């Protein structure tokens, strides 16, 4: 039985947009209140992630990130910690990812190489190019991806400090958390994804030139454009 395909729009709505709206618009004392606002916001990514795991037999990374992010963000608000910890948390997520990617570069299976291997045909490229050349280009691409997450961390910290300024526990503070939830993902995903795509395009163009392989040969068959 084939897996049901992921609906990207629903994924974004349930894991990001709806929780953000709940935190921004319905977490005031006139509506749900901070505690129930946090709980309701958590239900969406948690339920969707659970559904995805049961139906598609896959872990939904966006749901996991959504749950963890909302718990940390909401928890900081409920504990009435200094708003600076929100900024620290927002910066910590991409920094941890960058750190994991850097550490994995010292192992036999670098994570960036694993991800790239889902798009390009590394075995065929290894047969056409020297191991030293391929390793060098993959390392450059890995550093580009790591750099993108570092940039995201800096942007997240700055944006968090700008948006979250109210007293912890207040309705304004909760609304700011929702606004931050809505904008923080683009500051992680868009720069990282854009730079990653640029890095992969550079890698493919460079390997195409050095190996003489066609684009169809460089990409996995299921990634190539069907004729």
Distance between CA atoms of 138 and 66, rounded to whole angstroms?
Answer: 30
77 inside domain: yes
Q: How confident is the model at residue 223 (pLDDT cuts 50, 70, 90)?
A: very low
**Which residues make Cβ contacts (< 8 Å) with residue 78, sequence separation at least 6?**
34, 35, 38, 169
Closest CA to 77 of 176, 8, 154, 151: 176
Beta bridge mates, 219: 120
On the 0-12 / 13-18 / 19+ scale of CB atoms within 10 A, 42 is: middle
Q: How many residues can be counted in the chain? A: 227
73 inside domain: yes
Could you give the number of structural domains in the chain?
1
190 inside domain: yes
210 inside domain: yes
**What is the phi/psi pair of residue 219, to 5°?**
-90, 155
Distance between CA atoms of 154 and 124, rounded to whole angstroms?
Answer: 38
Q: Which domain holds residue 151?
A: 8-223
pLDDT tens per residue across span 162-200: 888 887 767 777 778 778 777 766 766 677 678 778 888
89 inside domain: yes
pLDDT tens per residue across span 21-51: 776 667 666 677 767 777 787 787 787 777 7
Helix (H) or strand (E) holding 212: none
Distance between CA atoms of 209 and 180, rounded to whole angstroms?
Answer: 43
3 inside domain: no
């Amino acid at each position: 039985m084939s897996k049901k395909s992921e609906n990207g729009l629903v994924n974004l709505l349930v894991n990001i947009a709806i929780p953000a709206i709940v935190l921004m618009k319905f977490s005031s004392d006139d509506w749900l209140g901070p505690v129930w606002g946090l709980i309701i916001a958590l239900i969406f990514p948690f339920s969707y992630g659970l559904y995805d795991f049961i139906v598609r037999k896959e872990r939904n990374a966006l749901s996991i990130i959504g749950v963890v992010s909302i718990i940390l963000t909401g928890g900081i608000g409920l504990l009435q910690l200094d708003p600076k910890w929100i900024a620290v948390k927002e910066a910590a997520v991409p920094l941890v990812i960058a750190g994991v990617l850097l550490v994995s570069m010292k192992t036999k299976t670098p994570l960036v190489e694993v991800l790239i291997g889902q798009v390009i045909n590394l075995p065929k490229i290894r047969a056409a190019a020297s191991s030293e050349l391929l390793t060098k280009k993959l390392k450059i691409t890995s550093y580009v991806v790591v750099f993108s997450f570092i940039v995201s961390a800096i942007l997240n910290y700055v944006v968090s400090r700008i948006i979250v300024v109210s007293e912890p526990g207040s309705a304004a503070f909760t609304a700011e958390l929702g606004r931050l939830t809505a904008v923080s993902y683009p500051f992680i995903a868009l720069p990282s994804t854009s730079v990653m795509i640029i890095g992969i395009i550079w890698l493919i163009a460079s390997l195409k030139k050095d190996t003489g392989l066609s684009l169809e040969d460089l990409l996995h068959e299921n990634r190539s454009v069907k004729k």
